C-alpha cells in the first residue's frame, strides 16, 4: 500500500468503511489480508465494526515502521518547502516520505526489529530520533514515552507477524488460491513514473507487486486498472484537463470528491486519455474498471482529453 497516506472508501451492505492502511479485503470474513514489505503504522487497534479482523490479518516481518517523529518531520519539511520555494508538495503529512528516506538510508526500523531484541531496537530508535533532531532543531520527541508505547504494540501484533516472503511463496505454490493484490495511490503518483516531485514515495504501479510482496513477475496475471469517468487530483501538480469552473465544482460535489486521509477537496476535470494510455504503457492493463460514470449523468456534453501538444505539435507520449 505504500503507507497510510492513501484513503479508500469502501461501501459494503450499506455500511461505509474508510481504509488508510488495511487492505479492503479485511471486510471479507473468508479472506486473509496481508500487509507486506511497505509500511506499517500502529493504528491497527482503532478498527470498529469488524469482527475478528485480527484473526485474518497478517503483517510481514519486513514491513517498515512509520514513527510519530516521521509524521512530525513530514509537516516540518512541507513548511520548509513553502518558505524556501514558495510552494510545497502537498503531502498528507503522514510520515511516508521521511520513512522511505530512512529505509533508503538504511537507518529504518522494521517489524522484525521491534519483535526481536528490544534493547537493540531501542538503541537504534534513539539514534534515528537524534538524527532527525539534529536536522530539525525544533523537533520534539518523547523518546522514552514512544518506546514504552512501541513495546506494548509489539506484544499486541506479535501473533499477526509472519515471514512475508515465505507466506507469499506458500500462497502461490500451495493449494490453489485466488490472490488479489490491492494497490494504493494512482499511477501518476508513482515515485519513478509519476508527475515528480508531486508524487508519493513508493512504486504504486504494477512493479510494486514484485518489489513489495516478493512475488516473481511470472506470477502476475490479470492487471485491472481502476479509472474514474473523469480525472481528479489531490494536492498540487500538473493537471491539463482541470476545470476550475462550475463543471469542476459539479464533479467535486456530485462525486463527493474529498481526500479520505486529508479531508481536502479533490481537484476535478475531464477524463485525460493521454494519462490513461500512459498508465497502460507502464502497467499493461488486461482490463479497465470504469467508475463514477453516473456522476456525468446531468451533463449535456462530456469532454475528453485526447492529445497533448508540445511546441505546437501533437506528441504520442506523456511528457
Q: Could you tell me which CATH number the domain at 222-315 has?
A: 3.90.170.10
Determine how many CB atoms are found less than 10 A away from the CB of residue 317. 10
Q: What is the pLDDT of residues 76-119, one digit of tens each?
A: 888 777 777 777 666 777 888 899 999 999 999 999 999 999 99
3-state secondary structure of 245: coil
Q: What is the pLDDT of residue 126?
A: 97
Q: Which of 103, 133, 156, 277 is catalytic?
A: 103
Q: What is the pLDDT of residue 282?
A: 96
Looking at the chain, which residues constitute the CATH 3.90.170.10 domain(s)? 222-315
At residue 40 the predicted structure's pLDDT band, cuts being 50, 70 and 90, is: low
Looking at the chain, which residues constitute the CATH 1.10.300.10 domain(s)? 68-159
The fold of the 68-159 domain, in CATH, is: Adenylosuccinate Synthetase, subunit A; domain 2 (1.10.300)
**C-alpha–C-alpha distance, residues 61 and 63, integer Å:** 6
Alpha-carbon torsion angle 211, 215, 221, 226, nearest 10: -40
- For the question of residue 87 being annotated catalytic, the response is no
Q: Are strands 304-305 and 267-272 parallel, antiparallel or unpaired?
A: parallel
Q: What is the pLDDT of residues 170-193, one digit of tens each?
A: 999 999 999 999 887 889 999 999
DSSP 4-52: TTS-EEEEETTEEEEESSS-GGGG-TT--EEE-SSEE-S-GGG--S-TT
Read off the pLDDT of each residue in 211-221 and give the average, rounded to a whole number: 93
Amino acid at each position: 500500500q505504500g503507507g497510510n497516506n492513501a484513503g479508500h472508501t469502501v461501501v459494503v451492505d450499506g455500511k461505509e468503511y474508510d481504509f488508510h492502511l488495511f487492505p479492503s479485503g479485511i471486510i471479507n470474513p473468508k479472506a486473509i489480508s496481508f500487509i507486506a514489505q511497505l509500511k506499517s503504522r500502529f493504528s491497527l487497534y482503532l478498527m470498529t465494526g469488524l469482527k475478528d479482523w485480527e484473526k485474518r490479518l497478517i503483517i510481514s516481518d519486513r514491513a517498515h515502521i512509520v514513527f510519530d517523529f516521521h509524521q512530525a518531520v513530514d509537516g516540518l519539511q512541507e513548511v520548509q518547502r513553502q518558505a524556501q520555494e514558495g510552494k510545497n508538495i502537498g503531502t498528507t503529512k503522514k510520515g511516508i516520505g521521511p520513512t522511505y528516506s530512512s529505509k533508503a538510508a538504511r537507518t529504518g526500523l522494521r517489524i522484525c526489529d521491534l519483535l526481536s531484541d528490544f534493547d537493540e531496537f531501542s538503541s537504534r530508535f534513539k539514534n534515528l530520533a537524534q538524527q532527525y533532531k539534529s536536522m530539525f532543531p525544533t523537533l520534539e520527541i518523547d523518546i522514552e514515552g514512544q518506546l514504552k508505547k512501541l513495546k506494548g504494540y509489539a506484544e499486541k501484533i506479535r501473533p499477526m507477524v509472519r515471514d512475508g516472503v515465505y507466506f507469499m511463496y506458500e500462497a502461490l505454490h500451495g493449494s490453489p488460491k485466488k490472490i488479489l493484490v490491492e494497490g494504493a495511490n494512482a499511477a501518476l503518483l508513482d515515485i519513478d513514473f509519476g508527475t515528480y516531485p508531486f508524487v508519493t514515495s513508493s512504486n504504486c504501479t504494477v512493479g510494486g507487486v514484485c518489489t513489495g510482496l516478493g512475488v516473481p513477475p511470472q506470477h502476475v496475471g490479470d492487471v485491472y486498472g481502476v479509472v474514474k469517468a473523469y480525472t481528479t487530483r489531490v494536492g498540487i501538480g500538473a493537471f491539463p484537463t482541470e476545470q476550475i469552473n462550475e463543471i469542476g465544482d459539479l464533479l467535486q460535489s456530485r462525486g463527493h470528491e474529498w481526500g479520505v486521509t486529508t479531508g481536502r477537496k479533490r481537484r476535478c476535470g475531464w477524463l485525460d486519455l493521454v494519462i490513461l494510455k500512459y498508465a497502460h504503457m507502464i502497467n499493461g492493463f488486461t482490463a479497465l474498471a470504469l467508475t463514477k460514470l453516473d456522476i456525468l449523468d446531468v451533463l449535456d456534453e462530456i469532454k475528453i482529453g485526447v492529445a497533448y501538444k508540445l511546441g505546437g505539435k501533437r506528441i504520442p507520449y506523456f511528457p
